Structure 1
Amino acid sequence: MSRKFLETDGPAWVTDGLISEEQRLRLLARYPPEARALGLLPVLGSLLVGLSGLSLVAANWQALPEVLRLALLLGSLTGAYAAGAYFLRRGNPDVGHGLIGLGLILFGASIILTSQLYQLVGYDASGLVAWVVAGVALSYVYGSRLLVLLTVLIGAAVQTYCVQALGSFSYATALLVAGGMGYYWWRRPDAVSSTVLAAGILWQAGLLIIVLHAKITWFFVPAMLVYAAGDWQPNRAGGRALQGPPLVAAYLFMFGLATFGETDTYANVLQPPLLPYLGALGAVLALSVAGKRARGRLGTLPDWLLLLPGFYLPGGLPLAVATLVVLYAHAGSVLARAHRDEDPEQLTIGAVLFVAATMVAYFKLTWAFLDKSLFFLLGGVLLLGLSWYLRRRNAQVLAAAAPPVARQAGAPAPNAPAPSPTTPPRHD
């Protein structure tokens, strides 16, 4: 159930006597309004204005006097921040935050251009780290999702530069993104910021694995730490949004393993030392289970099926069967949870995951001897049977819940005997 559904159908329920107006308001209070989607106009406006200014200045940069260069940098930076503060005071947060974001972009450009102006050769990323610090500070001051997005993107760009150009990993940048923005997310867990932050942390973790030349499966230890943080978040929507990118990464990995996993191609890059890896992943699992138990979310524990280390199995048939079992079990858990929560979006996702697992099973196991028409026939029968079962269960649940709801609304239960008519008083 969602707030939008309650807002559209709730008044009709009150009119029909199913619930009272007070109950409708109490239901709405249980589903707070979701944060508005991040507006594209301020983002695109900031980027386009910033890029146009940078391209114009860059084309004539060498011909400008040094004093004019500094004046342009300081003037554009100060002007963007001043204009943003002006529009915020006038009650226009979209334009105001967009201009503040432009000022943040110009701040980074000023660092780079000033370094070129005085021919400063950078052997570290201390100047660029200051750019990330500014982004974190502005995010806290203004509480803007646009600034959160820009800060995470800046952190990803700085870390990519460090890895590619300097051959090192900036732990300060990673700490600012994961720690600084992580605390911001904990206090303001809206869905957009949660998803952006999770994706940014996963990017940082991936670059760390590259720098350390570690087995790529170590990536899932920090990735599932992000997932476990979502289990501890009191806001269910914000916590689930944070868990989205780690789950997508885990599913794509398991899907790829089921499709392409062979011993001679994956053993050297996927199999870390068994005990250290399982110990680290087990510790994260324990943290996640504790959070689920504390927040009453043990129903999402089957998400961890995607982290079963099937890559330790030999390639070929054993690996294919094991990974397909995991994919089917995970799809089934999503469908069961969607049915229990009456969540149509999760039901759609579960059906898509079920079809994807069935396609992999066909191409990996039965392509050589099962006719394609028979495969599609079996797949269709399975989905129709699943749809029939879920509808039947839903009807049973609604039928069982109808008498209490009817009694609460003052109507007789469906199977209740009709009240006997009262004898009218006699007037002699």
Structure 2
Amino acid sequence: MSRKFLETESPAWVTEGLITEAQRERLLARYPSDAVQAVGLLPLLGSILVGLSALSVVAANWQRLPTQLRLGLLLGSLVAAYAGGEYFLRRGNRRVGHGLIGLGLVVFGASIILTSQLYQLVGYDISGLLAWVVVGVLLSYLYTSQSLVLLPILIGAAVQTYCTQALGIFSYTIMALVALGSGYRWWRRPDTLVASVLAVGLLWQAALWVALSHSKITWFFIPAMLVYAAGDWHRDRPAARALQGPPLVAAYLFALGLALFGETDQYAGLLRPPVLAYLGALAAVFALSVAGKRQQGRLASLPDWLLLLPGFYLPGGLPLAIATLMVLYAHAGSVLARAHRSGEAEQLTLGTVLFVIATMVAYFKLTWAFLDKSLFFLIGGVLLLSLSWYLRRRNAQRLAAGVASVASPGSAAASPPSPPKPLA
């Protein structure tokens, strides 16, 4: 909550009797003005500039410095960052304190890399980088900070990228540390931003695994939908949605690409894994997802799995494009139906966008070649106007039903109760 919002809204709260004037003043005192916050950031910004200046000087003369001095600078920077973080935390300045702790984690990783270069350690030994991820995960448990939870996820993705691109290996330990370590931390303290970043980080590592192992691209969706299934088991619905968002986006883009470019069989060598192995693994993840949805009462979101229908096993051509478009339409319709039942405006907007995308893909894919351009755009405009009219009509019906449901209990309460009947 910002001070500007309080200054704007709190007088009306006092007028309506929600709070007193004294309480309003206490609330305003709790949230300092933007100017005070900006002044409070000046020492931090000045310290960062001084630190960057010292860092640039050291970097420019790094190779000329004695080995002991280099190690002393690395160790001193590490101790200074952690000690400064603890100092500000004890004084109640959590932002600066957590920022310095995060800086210490970054310095720790840089120290590992620079020390390896200094002593020319073996390049294929990733134990030092693995220790960096371990320390990051441990810090996320020691401190209640969103940034310190995000850092090990990003560090894990960066280290995994280095391992696959520079060393040609995939570290399952790093993926397990991020999935289990950071994942359990999020599970105990759900957060929507952390959920989104965690899902993207795990999907990135899954993509690196597919690329390094030269597997079929579709194997990517087994770990991706495992992330989705984990969201089905979490009680916090907003955090679960944030975790499931990236896998669903990836699945939708894949289905959209299949609808656009699936008319040829050029994709067969890239997308078709062994049937029994792939469908068995996908069925196991699907069963896990269904069990979670049933446990949390979210079976209405089961049509999300329509995007994972393995249509790429079908022969290419127009039938495959039409079948994929039908899947996209069915998925968009399920999102719209779910939004109308729950009354969520964001889901309604999302369903509308998905429906329009499917319509445009079908339109350009199936009609552009044989319709006159004027008739082409005319039909498209009529379709979009019809969709807009239908959605507005549905919203009006829901609003009328809501007003009626609110009015009916009041009228029933206003009528006097009937006298009890005499006993026979």
TM-score (norm 2): 0.83
Deviation track 1:187-225 (CA, whole Å, cap 9, x = no partner) reads 111100000000000011111112221101000000000
CA-CA distance at 1:163 after TM superposition: 0.7
Q: 1:390 to 1:215 in 2, by over 3 A?
A: same
Amino acid aligned to 1:393: R
CA-CA distance at 1:381 after TM superposition: 2.9
Supply the distance in 1 between the matched residues of 2:392 and 2:235 (Cα, whole angstroms): 32
Amino acid aligned to 2:243: L
- After TM superposition, the structure 1 = structure 2 runs for residues 77-226 of structure 1, keeping only pairs within 5 Å, are 77-226=78-227
Supply the distance in 2 between the matched residues of 1:379 and 1:50 (Cα, whole angstroms): 59
Q: Match of 1:368?
A: 369
Q: 1:343 to 1:138 in 2, by over 3 A?
A: same
CA-CA distance at 1:171 after TM superposition: 1.0
Tell me: higher relative CO, structure 1 or 2? Use CA pairs within 8 A at least 6 residues apart.
1
Q: Match of 1:234?
A: 235
- After TM superposition, the structure 1 = structure 2 runs for residues 2-401 of structure 1, keeping only pairs within 5 Å, are 55-401=56-402
Supply the distance in 1 between the matched residues of 2:262 and 2:273 (Cα, whole angstroms): 16
Q: 1:366 to 1:52 in 2, by over 3 A?
A: farther
Judge conservation of contact 1:289–1:301 (CA < 8 Å) in 2: yes
CA-CA distance at 1:166 after TM superposition: 1.1
Indicate the larger mover: 53-62 or 86-95. Answer: 53-62
Q: Match of 2:34?
A: none
CA-CA distance at 1:148 after TM superposition: 2.0
Judge conservation of contact 2:160–2:171 (CA < 8 Å) in 1: yes
- SS of the aligned residue for 1:169 comes to coil
Supply the distance in 2 between the matched residues of 1:406 and 1:139 (Cα, whole angstroms): 50
Q: Match of 1:26?
A: none
Q: 1:303 to 1:367 in 2, by over 3 A?
A: same
- SS of the aligned residue for 2:62 comes to coil
Q: 1:136 to 1:50 in 2, by over 3 A?
A: farther
CA-CA distance at 1:155 after TM superposition: 0.5
Judge conservation of contact 2:265–2:315 (CA < 8 Å) in 1: no
Supply the distance in 2 between the matched residues of 1:247 and 1:300 (Cα, whole angstroms): 12
Kindly, what percent of the aligned residue pairs are identical? Answer: 73
Amino acid aligned to 1:152: I
Q: 1:242 to 1:53 in 2, by over 3 A?
A: farther
Deviation track 1:66-125 (CA, whole Å, cap 9, x = no partner) reads 121111101111111111112222222222111111111100000011111112123221
Amino acid aligned to 2:301: T
Supply the distance in 1 between the matched residues of 2:318 and 2:51 (Cα, whole angstroms): 55
Deviation track 1:221-248 (CA, whole Å, cap 9, x = no partner) reads 0000000000000100111100000001
CA-CA distance at 1:309 after TM superposition: 0.7
**Which consecutive segments of 4 or more residues in structure 1 shift more than 6 A?**
44-52
| RMSD over equivalenced CA pairs, Å | 2.9
Q: 1:51 to 1:172 in 2, by over 3 A?
A: farther
Judge conservation of contact 2:363–2:380 (CA < 8 Å) in 1: no
Deviation track 1:337-390 (CA, whole Å, cap 9, x = no partner) reads 122222222222222211211221122211111233333333333333333333
Supply the distance in 2 between the matched residues of 1:54 and 1:178 (Cα, whole angstroms): 34
Structure 2 gaps of 5+ residues are 20-40, 417-424
- SS of the aligned residue for 1:62 comes to helix
Supply the distance in 2 between the matched residues of 1:285 and 1:315 (Cα, whole angstroms): 26
- SS of the aligned residue for 1:412 comes to helix
Judge conservation of contact 2:222–2:285 (CA < 8 Å) in 1: yes
Judge conservation of contact 2:339–2:348 (CA < 8 Å) in 1: yes
Supply the distance in 1 between the matched residues of 2:126 and 2:69 (Cα, whole angstroms): 26
Amino acid aligned to 1:189: P
